[in-house]
Amino acid sequence: MVVFENVSMTYPGGEMRAIDDMSFTIDDGEFVFLVGPSGSGKTSVIKLITGEVMAESGVLNVNGFDLRHIRRRKLPLMRRTIGVIFQDFRLIEDMTVYDNVAFAMHIVGASNRQIRQRVPYVLDLVGLSGRERRYPREVSGGEKQRVAVARAIVNSPRLLIADEPTGNLDPALSLELMLLMDSINNSGEGTTVLVVTHEKEMVNSFSKRVIAIEDGQVISDGMDGYYSYEIQ
């Protein structure tokens, strides 16, 4: 669950507020698109949720963690309840596909046995069976993104965030990835999914909740599944 209540944030040295009195709530199990033009504050919302930056006012709660008052040493615990997929994949180049996924399990203290069981299962789920021993440089862009998805979901996070996940993929792979996210959302674990994007057709075709933001403020929040906001 994500709760933003009158949240404001200014980057150090910045003059304008990147997030200005923003409020919205995402319940457990929801699938939400966060849309808006460049510079609207989409990435800032993600950074606030992942604890990369701190809000200066308001209430910010993620999966039960009060991020306005969280201690720095507790941040890793909060982050383990979230899976993040980045546009640029952010894979560790020196690790194989298998190790890129496995290290996320090592972080949460999983046993070697658990890792040996879970990683092949998740890689199979995202269609990467047989690619385990390859390095990121040896797989395609679509496969890299699927490795990032596998890493994000391997610890069964309560919240899955995808920051422009289809930005580097062709339309067919983009659709495939979104269907995968949808299936994760509909799985028994009921993972909450927040997708940041500006791909209008994609958003419109999925009939999900859409939160549109501009200048750090929510300008529309509808369940009609329609990307009514025009990118400027």
Partner 1 sequence: MRSSKIGYLTKEGFKSILTHGFMSFASVTIIVACLVIMGSFSLIAVNIGSLLDEVESQTEVVAYVEETLSDEQARALQPEIEYISNVQSCEFVPRQTAMEEYASLFDDQLFQDVGSEILRDRYVIHLADISLTRQTQADLESIIGVAYVRADLQVAEALVGVRNVLSGVSLILVVVLVLVSVFIMANTVKLATYSRRDEIVIMKMVGASNWFIRFPFVVEGLVLGLLGGAMAFILEWGIYDVVAEKIMSGFMGNLIHVIPFSSVSAVVMLIYMGVGLAVGVFGSSIAIRNYLEV
Q: Which is nearer to partner 1, 74 or 200 (CB)?
A: 74
* Gap between the Cα atoms of 28 and 216, Å rounded: 24
Contact by Cβ (8 Å): 177, 212:
no
CB neighbour list of residue 66: distance below 8 Å, 6 or more residues apart: 59, 60
Q: Which is nearer to partner 1, 152 or 211 (CB)?
A: 152
Closest distance to partner 1 from the beta carbon of 50 (Å): 6
Closest distance to partner 1 from the beta carbon of 8 (Å): 21
CB neighbour list of residue 52: distance below 8 Å, 6 or more residues apart: 46
Closest distance to partner 1 from the beta carbon of 90 (Å): 5
* Gap between the Cα atoms of 180 and 137, Å rounded: 23
Spell out a b/e string for 67-77, using b for 16 or more CB atoms within 10 Å of the CB, else e. Answer: beebeeeeeee
Please count the other Cβ atoms lying within 10 Å of the Cβ belonging to residue 93: 8
Q: Which is nearer to partner 1, 82 or 169 (CB)?
A: 82
Binding site for partner 1 (CB under 8 A): 50, 52, 73, 76-80, 82, 84, 90-92, 94, 103-104, 106-109, 111-112, 151
Closest distance to partner 1 from the beta carbon of 150 (Å): 12
Closest distance to partner 1 from the beta carbon of 34 (Å): 18
Q: Which is nearer to partner 1, 79 or 208 (CB)?
A: 79
Q: Which is nearer to partner 1, 7 or 82 (CB)?
A: 82
Closest distance to partner 1 from the beta carbon of 191 (Å): 16
Contact by Cβ (8 Å): 34, 207:
no
Which run of H or of E encompasses 199?
none
Q: Which is nearer to partner 1, 16 or 107 (CB)?
A: 107
Distances (CA, A) of 188 to 156, 158, 183, 185: 11, 12, 10, 8
* Gap between the Cα atoms of 232 and 230, Å rounded: 6
Rounded to 5 degrees, φ, ψ at 134 are -85, 155
Q: Which is nearer to partner 1, 20 or 99 (CB)?
A: 99
Closest distance to partner 1 from the beta carbon of 52 (Å): 6
